[in-house]
Amino acid sequence: MSSGSSAQGQLPPGKAAEVSDGVFAYVQPDGGWWINNTAFLVGSQGVVSIDACATERRTRDYIQAITEITPQPVRALVNTHHHGDHTFGNYLFGNAAIIAHDRVRDAIQSAGPPRSAPVWAEAEWGEIRLEPPFITYRDEITVHCDDLACRVTYAGQPAHTTNDSYVWIPDRQLLISGDLLFNGGTPFVLMGSVSGAISVLEERIKPLGARTIIPGHGEVCGPEVVDEVLGYVRYVRDIAAQAHAGGLRPLEAAYEFGAGPYADLLDSERLVGNLHRAYAELDGTPPGAPIDHDAALADMVTFNGGKSLTCLA
């Protein structure tokens, strides 16, 4: 099965678009592996950025997009979680205060610098230097951009990772979700939890009543994306239960059931990694607890026809 991402060299550049007064989404097509979204708020005292990008080039392009809109410096950088597509570019933000959940700091340091082979196709990462957050919070922190309050809230339990946060701007009914939500891409919970992702979306994200959502990957959208992601994760939960009871291994389950109604989402091989996490939970492993990620990633490559996963970062 193909990962479904675009061919090398055909991706258009990221683009900043104002989605609410002074609030900009920076969307990078096609939203596949390592190609994330960011967001930024412009105020009289400076800019607040939500996440960085995966590579030096992409992060420099993002910073250039900010400077084309405002001469104000980036004074705060919020990381929604530790994954490198959202954090590898942290070091390029000069003297900005880097803010994230308590667990993000250790997770960035443990994950280490970028590496592609043998899982992903090689990318030009640039001269990446890890820059963990130096302001951390346990549950929630409020970041102000002039009179606009942005509530940065820990998801409360493992979901996409063990350290996810989302940014809620209640005055605008605007949500910056990080990778709790993907629009057009396959959700990924290998490093988090199937049950946790469902709980977070049902109990925290959906009740917010967001009208505008900047997802972690994919185009800016409305609240319909929450049900779409919930549907996918519930599908993973349900087929995992059937396959596990039938004695199939995660890779065998992926071949047997496939992605079903979600087959058109980008990077469909993530199904295998998600099934590895679902099986672990069925076996009694606590949500977010360490499992064999290398084995899961190897199975994803096998599901992808033995080819490295597409990486156009």
Per-residue model confidence as pLDDT tens digits over 216-233: 999 999 999 999 999 999
Question: The domain containing residue 30 runs over which residues?
Answer: 15-303
| Section 299-307 average pLDDT | 97
pLDDT at position 91 over 70? yes
| Section 281-288 average pLDDT | 98
Amino acid 2: pLDDT: 36
Taking each helix axis as running N to C, give the angle between helix 293-303 and helix 250-257, from 0 to 180 degrees, rounded to the nearest 10: 30
Residue 5 lies in a domain: no
Residue 57 lies in a domain: yes
Amino acid 9: pLDDT: 54
**Three-state secondary structure of 144-211:** EECCEEEEEEECCCCCCCCCCEEEEEHHHCEEEEEEEEECCECCCCCCCCHHHHHHHHHHHHHHHCCC
For the entire predicted model, the pTM comes to 0.96
Residues 282-298: b if buried by 16+ CB within 10 A, e if exposed: beeeebbeebeeeebbe
Number of neighbouring beta carbons within 10 Å of residue 166 = 27
Amino acid 6: pLDDT: 39
Residue 311 lies in a domain: no
Residue 313 lies in a domain: no
Residue 209 lies in a domain: yes
Amino acid 86: pLDDT: 98
Report which of 50, 124, 122 is spatially closest to residue 90, judged by C-alpha positions: 50
Residue 26 lies in a domain: yes
Amino acid 165: pLDDT: 99
Residue 282 lies in a domain: yes
Instruction: Report cis status (omega within 30 of 0) of the bond before 106.
Output: no
| Section 196-207 average pLDDT | 98
Q: What is the mean pLDDT of the chain?
A: 96
Name the DSSP class of 309: B
Confidence of residue 209 (pLDDT cuts 50, 70, 90): very high
Name the DSSP class of 88: G
Q: What percent of the chain has pLDDT over 90?
A: 96
Amino acid 10: pLDDT: 74
Instruction: Report cis status (omega within 30 of 0) of the bond before 118.
Output: yes
Split into its structural domains, the chain has a count of: 1
CATH code of the domain in which 51 resides: 3.60.15.10
Contact 1, 14 (CB under 8 A): no
* Cα dihedral across residues 225, 161, 117, 119: positive or negative: negative
Residues near 199 by beta carbon (within 8 Å), at least 6 away in sequence: 157, 159
Angle at 189 between CA 141 and CA 272, to 5 degrees: 170
Confidence of residue 8 (pLDDT cuts 50, 70, 90): very low
Residue 9 lies in a domain: no
| Section 137-159 average pLDDT | 98
CA distance 211 to 169: 11
